[in-house]
Homo-oligomer: A and B are copies of this chain.
């Protein structure tokens, strides 16, 4: 794929939509494209991780190990990003991400991530927005799970 085609592709990702096309060339040069086949694992819960992924095509499940087995907590689609927690918080991967179909991704290393965030505030705002949405979504699920707990029988 030509550099121009790469830039066009990046421009269509909402995370980068407010970045000037000329500056997107840096990103097109630096970010790595990685393709996964259905069933492949992008990252394993508990592993060290120093990169995030943006889904360019396909779908991937986010799986979390619980006492009752592995639970799918979300399904990622085109333009979603994942893996930023290990970069931001210096913790092991907090979930397993598994390709639900063939998946094409843009891999953003830790260094590139911090470079981008420092250069492009619009990208930071989009990431904050998405993280705030995730806090909300998880809190809503938690609220529901707590409401469903059985009331202790009175003797």
Contacts and interface: CB of A to CB of B under 8 A. Distances in A.
Interface of A: 64, 66-68, 71, 73, 84-85, 88-89, 91, 94-95, 114, 117-118, 121, 124-125, 127-129, 131-136, 138-139, 141-143, 145-150
A132 B131 contact: yes
Nearest to A135: B134
Q: Which of A84, A88, A132 has the most CB of B within 10 A?
A: A132
A73 B150 CA distance: 19
A149 B148 contact: yes
Contact of A142 (B117, B129, B141): B141
Contacts of A88: 125, 128-129, 132
Given A94-B136, A117-B125, A143 B66 contact: yes
Contacts of A139: 64, 73, 94-95, 138
Given A127-B128, A128-B128, 15 more contacts: A66-B146, A68-B147, A71-B143, A73-B139, A73-B142, A84-B132, A85-B136, A114-B125, A117-B128, A118-B121, A124-B124, A124-B125, A131-B131, A148-B149, A149-B149
Contacts of A66: 143, 146-147
A142 B138 contact: yes
A62 to B, nearest CB: 10
B125 A128 contact: no
Contact of A89 (B91, B133, B142): B133
